[in-house]
Chains A and B, each alone.
Chain A
């Protein structure tokens, strides 16, 4: 392996880690502000201009808090669970092209860590592994609410993963590749996949809410039912890792949806790159928007929805796509 390639990849990884760790913090700021405005409040205002430094204050608080490992927990699993959530969230980012390739100081940069040929499978798989964080953390916590949360996590997981996989199958059949860059290039010639596959788009979007655990399906850490779920016994930076993982996941899934369905960065011009960022911003905003507007469903309702409604629709969608393609 060339040294230049190694250095380039390491730099890319560091940049992605830094940017998305920071974005996770800024994401919490936007979440507070958007939710506050939608509820006629002001949100954070006191720390820094418009409360912008609230993120820094939270970071300082998380870093300096005492790291408590309660007495009856299964120590090793308890300690590794938050790392799983955060690490898998960033690992999934390896196969996402964040921007079209551009030239920097005469050197062509591809803003994707590894354009592997099983990109989507890899992303979905790693995001699926990410659920081990809440699951193991909840079971190791020796806390009834954390245990409930872990049980819910398992139930939610087996429900939405089916929908995610099946809904993404029809676009994959159309494109004939699993690489997100191929998806993007396919849509330059053939138009956005959302027009050919609106049902798959809606299904994947719904499943994305379950995947990230956002409000209509915010069951795993449902504050008003089971305190903070798997995070109940966590404090300080361990809890912060869960948090960073959750928000990084939201950003990455907000990248994946436009890349698969909404034309991605188009032909790779500056306008296309900005359009991709705009689409990502919309999907991230929608996560916050639904949190202000919609109630949570019960775990059994989510399972009903996934198994009895969304999965049959996804299967029908695949069948119809297959028949049309033949």
Chain B
């Protein structure tokens, strides 16, 4: 995808002021305008345009359940929790930043120290009834653990039921198959990040 056509802000060519005649004030002027409009055939222009579109048959309908529009990689639908590529362990380190930054207070998490003296996430819930899908949690996450996914086809009695933590977490068989998708939206590492890293100035 490239954005060149959207970034082109040069609007000077091809724009012009529409030539609008003054409205007639006297009866004769109004009469002349009515006659002119009657015989200029503007109505037939409209008829021709719709007939042309009908003959051209350039249909734009997406037959939704069978066909789907591709969604952007940055699309912010229901959240996903990612696993580490190396160990298949959960990426989440329980830092609580997402809980802190969430502007609609929908993320709740609980942590404990496990037997290896490491912080472990024991409870993690997202109340999707409150979530506004702003993407702050994905942006703030230092481990790229919580991200947004592309799953937008949810149906339930309540929005709270859309997703459980187990559903958000990448399943293990997907990890063994190596098909976990990285999120390209908020918080993700941009391409060519290495080239843009500046060395720390140690000269002084």
Could you tell me the distance in whole angstroms from the C-beta of B165 to the nearest C-beta in chain A? Answer: 37
Q: How many angstroms between the C-alpha atoms of A34 and B58 in the bound complex?
A: 14
Q: Across the interface, do B51 and A38 meet the contact criterion of CB distance under 8 Å?
A: yes
Q: Does the CB pair A293–B60 fall under 8 Å?
A: no
Secondary structure class of chain B's binding surface, majority of residues: helix
- The answer to whether A41 and B61 touch across the interface, beta carbons within 8 angstroms, is yes
Answer yes or no: A292 CB below 8 A from chain B CBs: yes
**Residue contact B51 to A289, C-beta cutoff 8 Å:** yes
Is B34 a contact partner of A38 (Cβ separation < 8 A)?
no
Instruction: Tell yes or no: A290 within 8 A of B by CB.
Output: yes
Query: How many angstroms from the CA of A311 to the CA of B69 in the assembled complex?
Result: 54
Query: Cβ of A294 and Cβ of B59 under 8 Å apart?
Result: no
State the CA gap A42–B67 with chains docked (Å). 14
Complex contact B46–A40 (CB within 8 A): no
State the majority secondary structure of interface residues on A.
helix
- CB-defined interface of A293-313 with B at 8 Å, one 1/0 digit per residue? 110000000000000010000
Answer yes or no: A269 CB below 8 A from chain B CBs: no
| Chain B residues numbered 42-78 whose CB sits less than 8 Å from any CB in chain A | 43, 46-47, 49-51, 53-54, 57-61, 63
CB neighbours of B60 from chain A (8 A): 40-41
How many of chain A's residues touch chain B, expressed as a range? 10 to 19
Per the bound structure, the CA–CA distance linking A292 and B34 in Å amounts to 23
A289: chain B residues within 8 A (beta carbon): 47, 50-51
Interface string of A218-261 (1 = CB under 8 A from B): 00000000000000000000000000000000000000000000
A34 to B51, CA, bound (A): 10
Q: Which residues of A contact B51 (CB under 8 A)?
A: 38, 289
Listed by A's residue number, 28 A-B pairs whose Cβ atoms lie within 8 Å are A34-B54, A37-B53, A37-B54, A37-B57, A37-B59, A38-B50, A38-B51, A38-B54, A39-B50, A40-B53, A40-B58, A40-B59, A40-B60, A40-B61, A41-B59, A41-B60, A41-B61, A42-B59, A42-B63, A45-B63, A289-B50, A290-B47, A293-B43, A293-B46, A293-B49, A293-B50, A294-B46, A309-B34
